[in-house]
Structure 1
Amino acid sequence: MPVGSMTWWRPAAAGLAAALLGLGAGGIAAAIVARAFSPFVVVGSAVIDLTPGPMKEAVIRVFGHGDKAFLFIILAVVVAVLAAAAGVLEARRPWLGRVIILAGAAVGVAASLSRADATVVAAVPSAITGIVGAWALAFLMRRMPAAVPARAQTSPSRRTFLWWAGGAAAVGVLATIGGQLVTRTASAAANARSVFQLPRPAASAPAVPAAASLDVPGITPLITPLPQFYRTDVELVVPQLDPEQWSLRVHGMVKHPFTLSWKELNELPMEEHYITLACVSNEVGGPLISTAKWLGYPVRLLLERAGVTGDADMVYSESFDGYTAATPLSAMTDPNRASLLAIGMDDEPLPFARGFPARLVVPGLYGYVSATKWVVDLRVTRFADYKGYWVTQGWAEKAPVKQSSRIDVPRPGRTLKAGQQWVAGVAWQQHVGISKVEVQVDNGAWHEAELARELSVDTWVQWRWSWDATPGDHQLRVRATNAQGEQQTSGVSDVLPDGATGWHTVEVSVAS
């Protein structure tokens, strides 16, 4: 029926309802045969992979932990617009709208098959999305009412169409939600993690001394609560790997390549270490840094078992889905650095979002070159031969953590009472350590702050300074000096390509 004989919203509604039903069917198919390949997720992941590095960095900078939600919203809007357009075009030229829906499904199929963990069945959810969506669009179009006079706005044919369109949309939404719930609650990985007991460490981390934490309301906790631990990765949906199906391949420039099973890993003597991890995208004063107690097996011992040969200088790690990172071999083999293949975090199995069943933790390096989650492959090789994922996006090849400090208390823009006030926060340079922190008020003299006891050379340290606050507007600034006597630079640099620098500054007001 020509679109001119009806209002445009009906065919647009038909397109939206058809797309929702198709996505719902694809979501159910994914839950049944290929849980990691929901059409919406695989297309979103492909978009992430194709987005230039600076654009990704801009999204992380603006939205922080909400970057995944932002992408989902953008994708939802794009899908809604294309679906509505498909409905309008189908009303003008039969089959044209269905071609658009099938073309969108073809994009999902291609995105599914392009993933490193793809099998033939990975394409099934996207294919079903296209088939069901195209069928639903044709079905709804045949029930599209003809134009009627204004006085007949409640004609039976119109009500029938609205029932069919609304029903298709509702079924699609419920199926999508149901598919996600099934995927999350019925997976073997979720069941396995819930019953997994961490092995007792052969070398336990020392107890946290009371002097390592300062009693200042609002200061960052020394150990980050698990729900608050920062997360930056390229996964739209947190992967859930069955540990019984997990293995780690160690190969490349080695004498004795081998594959380590989950059972074998858990029989190895584990070590506990407190380590602070930091993201290279963390701006001066930013939140993308956290500390935990990690349980794992030293990577250097795995590499000793393999027997590194030749002029290798890098370990190329790969996640189950093809994400890669390139870590200096020297950091992995240093006996004085706690580089771990970690399975536990703060006395619990790794949360799925933190890399269960196993991940890398290498202190002193930014996460994009050292903290591969869901790791399944270690290739001993050379920087000249391989580049990690983020290096191909414009980031630096080697990324030691830069010396930094942050003011947590008082918060920017706060109005304080005159008199003694705490200025406090954290400072860090993992695997180097911090020896001094100083605070400046309004470009005046620098005042040395009190440092808490260092928990580890690989963790941040808390600091505080008692300020006799006077009425007016003030600017507070902090800088640190590391254990080697090097003072934190005042030079300001962006996070690209190897981490931000500069002194964190906070502006506050003091009431009279």
Structure 2
Amino acid sequence: MSRGRAALAGVTAAAVAIGVAEPVAVFTGPRSAPLIAVGGLVVDAVPEPLKQFAIAVFGTYDKVALLVGTSVLLAAIAALLGVLAARRLWLGLAGIAAFGALGVAAALTRAGADAYDALPSLVGGGLGAVTLWAFVAGPLASDVTSPASAGTPAPGAPSASPSHTPSRAPSPSPAPPPSIAALAPDEPAGWEPQEPADHESRRRFLRGVGLLAGTAAVAGFGGHWLAGQRGVSAARQAVKLPAPATPAPPLPAGADLSLPRLAPFVTPNREFYRIDTALVVPQVDPATWRLRIHGRVRNPIELSFDDLLARPMIERYVTLACVSNEVGGDLIGNARWLGVPIRELLDEAQPEDGADQVVGRSVDGWTCGTPTAVLRDGRDALLAVGMNGEPLPVEHGFPVRMVVPGLYGYVSACKWVTELELTSFADFDAYWVPRGWSAQGPIKTQSRIDTPRARGRLTAGPITVAGVAWAQHRGVRRVEVRVDGGPWQEATLAPTASVDTWVQWSWRWDAGPGEHTLQVRATDAGGETQPERRRPVAPDGATGWHTVKVTVG
């Protein structure tokens, strides 16, 4: 078998393994599918600088990039296994077995896993091994001898020894007529055109590749579709949110400047950023959802979704930001949230002395650690069930998530939350802390220029420079803009809903021709101005002034 065919055989075997595993994972849960399980293991194990690089380059598409990259790497390794199997079949089979074992281990080590989660990797790995065998040594092998070449020794076969050579030489065949000899001087008498054996084996090989790859694709996409049908979209649509006991205050006139390219004051759900570690969105049925408030409390509590909906709810505008948001980045959004104040639930649970951390735990095992004092200091920290007037989108935590003003999401914004455990920072490190991030993450004062865009070409004359600024739970006192390192000019702040939201700002610039550099900085209500010095997002959020270069003609 040529190296090209062997590599293609290996890739096809891997496709069969992954594709067949998908419909099996319909019954065991999408997180048990090998590609997702191993991808989750990669997310947990990848070095933090590489993870931040992926977020910086791909943004909210980081998970798609990870799955595509994992698939490409898997295809390369599978091709290598195919080449090895063509030389030593057991090497290829051992490689597939190793990958199957990795898939089993990855699936079984995820939070909430059981023995059934091993099935997709076991079934997929077994059929992948059978496929590789079929191409290398079985009915689809490209070096199987065809009837047309039955008398030809296989490559590498030992030749007959002299002792087995017949003692009587065979009588020569009569020469063909001259006319035929002229046409086919090298062919023996009685020769008839025949299809080459290698051509037939190639056709058989390619038919096998096409059939099995097609089957794998149908199984994979079919399984993915079936998993979607088993999701909770219908359950979400059936949820009727209660009216808030305390509605959000009406937005003041002019809170949204409605300028082109300026982020709207309220971020639509479909445009709200999503950064988390879940490669597949957890599908949590509200009928079976439970929340436990336990740990170092005097009165443990367990609530159903209906229990939560029956409680008095408040509605608030709150801006959330990701700690991975670079200066000038878009990993931030503002929404109107509906939920139950966490403070009231904690008061009922009665935390013990020294329980200074509340660990939010997601259904997929992810954890965040929030200071207990922050959740009880009077701010509108919520167990949210609604977002912009509708039940939480599934990708944003349906049925219940945490929303905490003033803290980066990695220490507060637990989606698909199922537990609030009272403990202490001395006793437990949440998910991101062992990976080099600060245990507590208050949001820093920041500002951003939305218009004009970087590298924009503008017409000389009056130009509106505008953007957003935020200092959640402190509020923004002032935003300033400067051009080409000149004096700072104070921008006009639009009205805003509360200190827990961002604010839009604008400044009128009489732009002259040439290359120009615009910079912005904000000052919070406490008088602290965001620093000029650029610092990376790790370990507790980026700093620096957002800078935009434009050309005015």
**TM score, norm. by length of structure 1:** 0.96
Partner SS state of residue 89, structure 2: coil
Number of residue pairs the alignment of both structures matches: 504
Q: Give the distance between the partners of 1:151 and 1:284, measured in 2 at CA.
A: 67
1:34/1:125 contact within 8 Å kept = no
* Residue matched to 2:312: 269
The offset of 1:125, in angstroms, is: 0.8
Structural mapping, 1:182-331, within 5 Å: 182-187=226-231, 189-331=232-374
Match of 1:3 in 2: none
What residue number does 1:108 align with?
103
**Per-residue deviation at 1:123?**
0.9
* Structure 2 residue 122 is the aligned partner of structure 1 residue 127: yes
Distance 2:260 2:59 in 1: 24
Q: Could you give the per-residue CA deviations for residues 183-221 of structure 1, whole angstroms, max 9, x where no partner exists?
A: 11233x222112212122111112222221114222111
Deviation at 1:158, TM superposition (A): 2.4
Tell me the distance in 2 between the aligned counterparts of 1:414 and 1:75.
36
Counterpart residue number, 2:474: 432
- Give 1:153 shift: 7.5
The answer to whether the Cα contact below 8 Å between 1:450 and 1:463 also exists between their aligned partners in 2 is yes
Output one character per residue of 1:4-50: Cα deviation in whole Å (capped at 9) or x when no partner.
xx311112211111211121111110013333311110000001111
Q: Classify the secondary structure of the residue corresponding to 2:49.
A: helix
| Aligned counterparts of 1:145 and 1:112: Cα–Cα separation in 2 | 35
Residue type at the aligned position of 1:159: R
TM-score, length basis structure 2: 0.89
For 2:464, the aligned partner's letter is W
2:191 — aligned with what? none
The Cα offsets for residues 278-326 of structure 1, whole Å up to 9 and x where unpaired, read as 0111111111110111111011111011011111111011111111111
Structure 1: 4+ residue segments shifted above 6 A = 147-151
The separation in 1 between residues aligned to 2:261 and 2:124, in whole angstroms, is 49
Task: Please say if 1:169 is aligned against 2:213.
Answer: yes
* 1:487 pairs with one of 513, 523, 529: 529
Distance 2:481 2:101 in 1: 58
Deviation at 1:114, TM superposition (A): 0.3
- Counterpart-to-counterpart distance in 1, 2:479 and 2:118: 55
Could you tell me which runs of 5 or more consecutive residues in structure 1 were left unpaired when the two chains were aligned: 1-5
Please tell me the residue identity of whatever aligns with 1:247.
R
User: Is contact 2:466-2:504 (8 Å) kept?
Assistant: yes
Aligned equivalents of 2:417, 2:368: Cα separation in 1: 10
1: CA distance between counterparts of 2:33 and 2:234? 21
Mapping for residues 3-152 of structure 1, pairs under 5 Å? 6-141=1-136, 142=138, 143-146=140-143, 152=196
Secondary structure of 2:333's match?
strand
For 1:190 and 1:13, locate their aligned partners in 2 and report how far apart those are by CA, in whole Å. Answer: 39
**Cα distance in 1 for residues equivalent to 2:127 and 2:240:** 43
Structure 2 residues without counterparts, runs of 5 or longer:
150-193
Percent identical: 48
Distance between the aligned counterparts of 1:13 and 1:315, measured in 2? Answer: 52
CA change 1:113–1:215 in 2 (3 A) is closer
1:408–1:426 Cα contact (<8 Å) kept: yes
Residue type of the alignment partner of 1:276:
T
1:160 pairs with 204, 214, 232, which one? 204
Give, in whole Å, the separation in 1 of the partners of 2:230 and 2:294: 34
* Greater Rg by CA: 2
Q: Which AA in structure 1 matches 2:465?
A: V
Partner of 2:438: 396
Give the match's secondary structure for 1:435: strand
Tell me which residue corresponds to 1:451: 493
Q: Give the secondary-structure state (helix, strand or coil) at the position aligned to 2:31.
A: coil
Aligned to 2:449: 407
Shift of 1:55: 2.0
Equivalent residues in 2 for 1:462-481, closer than 5 Å = 462-481=504-523
RMSD: 1.6
1:20 and 1:292 map into 2 onto residues whose CA distance is 42
Residue of structure 1 in register with 2:223 after alignment: 179
1:147 deviation in Å? 8.2
Structure 1 range deviating more: 461-470 or 201-210: 201-210
> Which piece of structure 1 moves more, 374-383 or 79-88?
79-88
Alpha-carbon separation, structure 2, partners of 1:154 and 1:295: 69
Instruction: Give 1:260's aligned amino acid.
Output: L
Can you list the C-alpha shifts for 1:390-446, whole angstroms capped at 9, x where unaligned?
111101111100000100010011111111000000000000000111110111111
Contact 1:34 1:121 in 2 (8 A): no
Tell me how far apart the structure 2 counterparts of residues 79 and 486 of structure 1 sit (CA, whole Å). Answer: 50
3-state SS in 1 of match to 2:507: strand
